[in-house]
């Protein structure tokens, strides 16, 4: 069957099903989103509908899975500056932004491409690069679901899925708001936004929202300078009482001069990895090192409500981006730590465009006399990425870390201006999905989900073709993934749940950049998870908590052939098991305590590494950048009607930097505090300090470098609404 026939057949089925709904039922106009400012719930959000844990708009309490929501109120309360700062609200999650993989996230024992990062429910299939931290102003909230979740959003997501949700126009209220901020290292922010009804007359009604943010910083390492701005505009149109449309546009522009790639680790390498703290702010990149990114999003969301029980939603989406790198990226000390060797120059450009359409039917009714909710639909996307790498490995020079000239990029031997096409990857994905919730009894509900993908990868090579790099090649994958879960309500305030879910993972992790060698002998890796847990409120609703225990197994990952280390085999295996806790308590009317804790035991069950031409087993070892324990705590106290103070802390245990587990980055604990003053009901002034003790710590690690977190910083912000 052709792609077009598949699409039209599924669409016709959806329409046929929808017209079985009663045309005489009363109609209520749907909201296409929940406005973050109207959301007043704090703490652990158990009763806020989620767009990520299910397609049925279930709350976390109703979903048999670990679903975390960090809403707009919490983003502002915690002073989250970027999308990655928001993620501290997810138990066990760590994130960092080293330029080469600025969307680095670890969750439930997995990292990189095994964590799907979505933008308004859409995957660009290049998450570890595309999911760079974006300034938080334009976002309404972030949501996450733990464990295999390919059945919701497509291939990937063995460790979990993250969904960054942008602010959208709302019917609820009209307002103008703004914020200005200034802090250490000349960091500044100027942001504003508004939401207004454009007309009040009968007939077609329009509501518009615009959010704009500009940030600038000189950076906490020498010579680094970052400038970024982002804008989100949306127009909500109620055409009639049944039909609404939202047009959403976003644009992001970020540039970083001489970006910081990390700090070299002192020799001898082995055991605890240490840096020379007197060189903490040193930047070994070239003077004209550069990172740039421009992102354009367009979404057209149409929703038609047949009646209160049945609706049809169509999302047409477009994503276009250009990324540019020009850097000297790797640094290592010589044997006596007197010189730093600089190596690995890369001139790179990515051109990526994604176009797609998702049509979805939502229905609530009866199935064999049992209350039932349905979501079914089809999704098609066409993803094209072209890369232009020019790289030169090896050592370029050795410099005295106390006195050196950083030099210029095009003075490096072998580097010349201009881009040369390397490879174009085209990924066409067709998917059909179905989800159902059955209320089996007054207390017991069953949630099931199923998704089938048809993934067509085609790659064209623009460079010299040979047996290992042919002119053209293609692969087709057809994974089917699913979930089944039960929720049992012990009391109206407490439940227990169990679920089983599966995932399918591309062999290269990222098909949009896959090479022939990465896919020619491999099918998809697979993942499965068993999870049990409980979600409950206590003390008459003053507190809420979640607890979850899980076991995830990922099979068929690439591993070196013991008999021929230069050849990889799809027989590897990796697993993790752990527990996660999250809780919040309104201790007194003035004091709110929130926190989370996660423990994970992650390991390679079957994995061989090619070490100098020898296959070495890493069975039982922990994957890199996976902390065993992560904990967060936030305290806020209203000392007077106009004054509020708060404190926070974050603990991350040590992580290994190599598969051999011979070296590790040490554990760290950082603290923060703030004081807030309410000038009036709409205007707030906040003074905040981060990393209060000026801890030197690594947010991410490679085999010979640590990507250090920010030192102690101060900021002052004024925010108002009118």
Give CA–CA dist 30/53, Å, rounded: 20
| CA of residue 413 relative to chain centroid, distance | 37
CB neighbour list of residue 200: distance below 8 Å, 6 or more residues apart: none
3-state secondary structure of 499: strand
- CATH 3.30.565.10: does it fit domain 3-721? no
**Which residue positions in the chain have pLDDT lower than 70?**
1-40, 508, 561, 563-564, 566-567
- Alpha-carbon torsion 21, 22, 28, 29, what sign? positive
The answer to whether residues 447 and 439 touch, using CB atoms and an 8 Å cutoff, is no
The phi-psi region of residue 540 (left if phi > 0; otherwise alpha if psi is between -120 and 50; otherwise beta) is left
| CA of residue 415 relative to chain centroid, distance | 34
Give CA–CA dist 266/285, Å, rounded: 18
Report pLDDT for 99: 87
CB neighbour list of residue 404: distance below 8 Å, 6 or more residues apart: 340
Report pLDDT for 202: 83
- Give pTM, 2 decimals: 0.93
Give CA–CA dist 374/55, Å, rounded: 9
Give CA–CA dist 297/250, Å, rounded: 5
Give CA–CA dist 396/328, Å, rounded: 9
Give CA–CA dist 95/101, Å, rounded: 11
Beta-strand runs (E) in 368-416: 370-387, 390-399
Report pLDDT for 26: 37
Give CA–CA dist 162/103, Å, rounded: 11
Contacts 24+ apart (CB under 8 A), 315-319: 315/121, 315/357, 315/358, 315/359, 315/360, 316/356, 316/357, 317/122, 317/354, 317/355, 317/356, 317/357, 317/358, 318/353, 318/354, 318/355, 319/119, 319/122, 319/124, 319/295, 319/352, 319/353, 319/354, 319/355
Report pLDDT for 246: 98
The answer to whether residues 553 and 575 touch, using CB atoms and an 8 Å cutoff, is yes
Report pLDDT for 561: 67
The answer to whether residues 148 and 161 touch, using CB atoms and an 8 Å cutoff, is no
| Alpha-carbon torsion, ordered 490, 493, 499, 504, to 10 deg | 180
DSSP 184: G
Report pLDDT for 10: 39
Give CA–CA dist 51/424, Å, rounded: 33
Report pLDDT for 566: 63
Report pLDDT for 567: 67
């Amino acid at each position: 069957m052709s792609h077009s026939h598949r699409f039209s057949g599924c669409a016709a089925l959806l329409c046929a099903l929808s017209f079985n709904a009663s045309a005489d039922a009363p109609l209520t106009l749907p909201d296409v989103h929940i406005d973050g400012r109207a959301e007043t719930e704090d703490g652990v959000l158990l009763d806020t509908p989620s767009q990520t844990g299910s397609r049925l708009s279930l709350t976390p309490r109703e979903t048999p899975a670990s679903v975390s929501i960090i809403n707009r109120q919490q983003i502002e309360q915690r002073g989250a500056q970027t999308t990655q700062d928001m993620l501290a609200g997810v138990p066990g999650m760590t994130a960092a932004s080293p330029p080469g993989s600025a969307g680095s996230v670890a969750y439930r024992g997995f990292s990189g491409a095994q964590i799907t990062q979505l933008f308004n429910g859409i995957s660009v299939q290049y998450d570890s690069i595309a999911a760079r931290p974006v300034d938080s102003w334009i976002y309404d909230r972030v949501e996450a679901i733990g464990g295999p979740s390919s059945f919701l959003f497509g291939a990937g997501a063995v460790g979990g899925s993250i969904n960054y949700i942008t602010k959208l126009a709302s019917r609820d209220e009209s307002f103008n708001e703004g914020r200005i901020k200034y802090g250490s290292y000349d960091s500044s922010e100027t942001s504003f936004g508004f939401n207004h009804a454009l007309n009040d007359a009968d007939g077609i009604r329009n509501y518009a929202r615009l959010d704009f943010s500009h940030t600038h910083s000189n950076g906490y390492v020498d010579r680094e300078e970052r400038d970024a701005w982002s804008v989100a505009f949306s127009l909500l149109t109620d055409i009639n009482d049944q039909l609404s449309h939202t047009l959403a546009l976003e644009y992001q522009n970020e540039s970083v001069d001489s970006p910081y790639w990390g700090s070299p680790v002192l020799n001898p390498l082995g055991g605890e990895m240490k840096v020379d703290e007197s060189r903490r702010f040193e930047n070994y990149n070239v003077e004209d090192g550069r990172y740039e990114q421009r992102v354009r999003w367009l979404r057209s969301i149409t929703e038609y409500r047949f009646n209160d029980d049945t609706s049809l939603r169509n999302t047409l989406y477009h994503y276009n981006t250009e990324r540019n790198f020009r850097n000297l990226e790797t640094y290592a000390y010589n044997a006596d730590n007197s010189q730093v060797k600089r190596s690995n120059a890369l001139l790179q450009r990515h051109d990526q465009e994604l176009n797609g359409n998702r049509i979805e039917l939502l229905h609530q009714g009866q199935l064999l006399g049992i209350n039932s909710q349905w979501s079914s639909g089809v999704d098609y996307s066409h993803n094209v990425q072209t890369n232009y790498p020019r790289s030169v490995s090896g050592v370029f020079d050795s410099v005295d870390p106390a006195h050196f000239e950083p030099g210029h990029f095009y003075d490096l031997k072998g580097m010349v201006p201009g881009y040369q096409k390397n490879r174009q990857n085209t990924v066409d994905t067709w998917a059909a999905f179905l989800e159902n919730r059955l209320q089996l009894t007054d207390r017991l509900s069953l949630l099931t989900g199923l998704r089938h993908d048809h993934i067509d990868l085609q790659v064209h090579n623009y460079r010299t073709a040979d047996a290992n790099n042919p002119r053209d090649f293609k692969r087709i994958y057809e994974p089917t993934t699913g979930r089944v879960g039960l929720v049992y309500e012990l009391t109206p305030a407490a439940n227990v749940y169990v679920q089983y879910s599966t995932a399918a993972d591309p062999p290269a992790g990222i098909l949009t950049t896959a090479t022939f060698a990465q896919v020619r002998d491999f099918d998809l890796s697979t993942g499965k998870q068993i999870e049990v847990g409980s979600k409950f409120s206590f003390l008459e609703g003053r507190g809420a908590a979640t607890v979850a225990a899980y076991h995830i197994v990922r099979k068929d990952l690439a591993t070196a052939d013991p008999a021929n280390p230069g050849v990889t085999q799809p027989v590897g295996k990796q697993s993790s098991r752990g527990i996660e806790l999250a809780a919040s308590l309104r201790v007194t009317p003035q004091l709110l305590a929130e926190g989370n804790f996660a423990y994970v035991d992650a390991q390679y069950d079957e994995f061989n590494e090619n070490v100098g031409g020898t296959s070495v087993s890493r069975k039982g070892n922990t994957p890199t950048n996976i902390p065993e324990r992560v904990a967060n705590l936030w305290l806020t106290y209203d000392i007077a009607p106009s004054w509020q103070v708060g404190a926070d802390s974050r603990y991350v245990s040590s992580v290994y930097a190599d598969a051999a587990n011979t070296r590790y980055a040490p554990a760290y604990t950082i603290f923060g505090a703030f004081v807030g003053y309410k000038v009036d009901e709409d205007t707030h002034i906040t003074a905040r300090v981060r990393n209060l003790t000026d801890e030197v710590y690594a947010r991410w690690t490679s085999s010979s470098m640590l990507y250090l977190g920010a030192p102690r910083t101060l900021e002052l912000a004024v925010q108002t609404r009118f």
